[in-house]
Homo-oligomer: A and B are copies of this chain.
Amino acid sequence: MRRKPGIAALLTDFGLKDHYAGVVKGVILSVCPDARIVDLSHDVESQDVAAAYFLLENSYRFFPGGTLFVVVVDPGVGTERAVVGVETADFTFLAPDNGVLGFLDREERIRRIVRVTNGKYFLQPVSNTFHGRDVFAPVAGHLLRGVDLGKMGERTDSLTRLTVPAAREEPGAILGSVVSIDKFGNLITNIPSEKLPPGRGVRVEVGQGVIRGISRTYSGRKPDELLACVGSGGAVEIAVNRGSAARRLGVRVGQPVRVTLRPR
């Protein structure tokens, strides 16, 4: 008996006002009528590979084993950039090889990387401007039907890395930055909460904001007050209780964040 098709989780910068995301779904369903499609997000900032990287890194492990992630944030569409399929123990990822999957190297045991080149699985003729429709969607459909990734092209060992900023430590302080700002205006940093020594006070500085101590929840300070807490991805986050830290502080992704450890 055939296993029922897994899930395709879509992550694109196509937005929802145009037909692009809908057409990708239509093509997947044309190839694999039983496919189950879940929108991870279509509202990645246009061509922001780093934002897609962050979003996917914080999401994929919460999906059922067997999920196929289809990532189309692809400023190089139509150029010589490769399309890759990557298999780990639990998941398959299909994406342009532009660094968006770069976290896999570090976080998962990669089983195979395949450079997707077999035009037999593409929608012909392949346009130069919409590989989501002509390459990613039909290949995803065939993968969901059970076609082996190995048939899609040649194996390769290389996966493009994205240089993502990491926090660094100096005596008595951790220096990081804002790596994402969410819909609530919370500032998500690259400072892992494990770096905060338990039982020591800290001071968090970001832009004009200075915060003393780490709150347990977004409600750990009075409404409208700035606070720092541990976000759901395990990193230090700066928020305003019932408000927007981004608006309060006027900061953007990339803004430096300094955590000073107070002497014991």
Contact = CB atoms under 8 A, between A and B. Distances in A.
A14 B183 CA distance: 7
Contact of A55 (B18, B29, B41, B44): B18
A37 B29 CA distance: 11
Interface string A205-248: 00000000000111100000000011110000100001010000
Contacts of A115: none
Contacts of A9: 22, 26
Nearest to A237: B129
Contact of A27 (B7, B21, B58, B62): B62
Given A17-B43, A33-B64, A22 B59 contact: yes
Nearest to A216: B128
Q: How many copies does the complex hold?
A: 3
Interface in A33-75: 33, 37-47, 55-56, 58-59, 62-64, 67, 75
A156 interface: no
Interface in A116-157: 127-130, 133-134
14 contacts: A18-B55, A21-B39, A23-B58, A23-B59, A25-B38, A26-B62, A47-B184, A77-B218, A78-B218, A78-B219, A79-B219, A127-B230, A129-B230, A130-B231
A38 B58 CA distance: 22
B127 A232 contact: yes
A121 to B, nearest CB: 16
Interface string A68-101: 0000000111110000000000000000000000
Contacts of A218: 75, 77-78, 129
A158 interface: no
